[in-house]
Amino acid sequence: MSEPGFPAQEIDTERPHPARIYDYLLGGKDNYAVDRDAGDALADVAPEVRPGVRANRAFLRRAVRYAVGGGIRQILDIGTGLPTSPNVHETARETAPDVRVAYVDNDPIVNVHANALLNRSGGTRVVLGDLRDPQAVVHHPDVREVVDFDEPVALLLVAVLHFLTEEEQPGRIVATLRDALPPGSVLVLSHATDDFADRSAAQAVYGNATATLNLRPRSAIERYFDGFELVEPGLVQVPFWRPDSSPPQGSGEIGFYGGVAYRRA
């Protein structure tokens, strides 16, 4: 399941993939013409998308530092994306070199690249797994090798839930994952929204992609944190979550909410 060298013929280069579109928008090189076309089309209809993905990635780093700074030593990152330096374990280990990370993504190309790059370091595992089967993720033997669910865990669901439709019951999926986390655990979550602009044209770009884009309002995203306590400043647009420098101009238009919450004892 998580072996390197996933058969190349199973990698679809005909349709845009969320991971590769995101990689292109971040300035990465692990993408194909279909992904670049989709990325350019997105930027045409939603000009804030490039600063938006950068701000999302910066939120991820700040949230990881926050969680590790609070004592968390194990991270389950679902919807990892293509390797983007600094990766989660690199960011985490700036604070604590013993942090262990399980990376999970359902895209075979992410699996190939992540295995090549991230599995080299001890204390990380790369798993081909699907968020839509949360029990399989939590019980996956490779995840269990680095994550002990009796100790606090940081669960990262960063820019992934908007690839699930309502029919796939993202609320139930997140609840299953939350229930697997012991007290002291942290949920780090970001999600695309159309609260700040009509983004139906951006959604249409994903019409031919391997996953649809399901934008949600703040009230729906906040429910993913049920039973957990959001830390200050709560669920906000990602550039405004504990910024370490002045949020760039145009941050108010960025269509990603982000938040971090604790499971109290």
Which residues contact ligand SAM (rule: CB under 6 A)? Answer: 18-19, 22, 56-57, 60, 78-81, 105-107, 110, 130-132, 158-160, 163, 211
125, 2 Cβ separation under 8 angstroms? yes
Closest to 81 (Cα-Cα) out of 12, 149, 20: 20
Closer CB to ligand SAM, residue 110 or residue 150? 110
Identify which of residues 90 and 130 has a Cβ nearer to ligand SAM in the complex: 130
Q: C-beta of 264: minimal distance to ligand SAM in Å?
A: 25
- Distance in Å, CB of 223 to ligand SAM, minimum: 19
CB of 196 to ligand SAM, least distance (A): 18
- How do the residues of the chain divide into helix, strand and coil, expressed in percent and rounded to 5? 45, 15, 40
Tokens, residue 28: 């990465």
C-beta closer to ligand SAM: residue 84 or 95: 84
Judged by beta carbon, residue 1 or residue 264, the one nearer ligand SAM is: 1
Instruction: Report, in Å, the least distance between residue 265 CB and ligand SAM.
Output: 28
80 vs 237 by CB, closer to ligand SAM: 80
Token pair 């013929």: residue: 9
- Which of 206, 254, 190 lies closest to 18, judged by CA? 206
Distances (CA, A) of 173 to 141, 176, 184: 20, 5, 20
The burial class, CB within 10 Å (0-12 / 13-18 / 19+), for 247 is middle
Task: Please answer whether residues 146 and 69 qualify as being in contact, where contact means their C-beta atoms are separated by less than 8 angstroms.
Answer: no
Look up residue 185 and give its amino acid.
S
Q: What is the largest CA-CA distance in the chain?
A: 49
Least separation in angstroms between CB 185 and ligand SAM: 18
Give 49 or 146: the residue with its C-beta nearer to ligand SAM: 49
Residue nearest to ligand SAM (CB): 81
- What's the first-to-final CA gap in the chain, in angstroms? 35
Structure tokens at 200: 């139906």
Closest distance between ligand SAM and the C-beta of residue 173, in Å?
A: 9
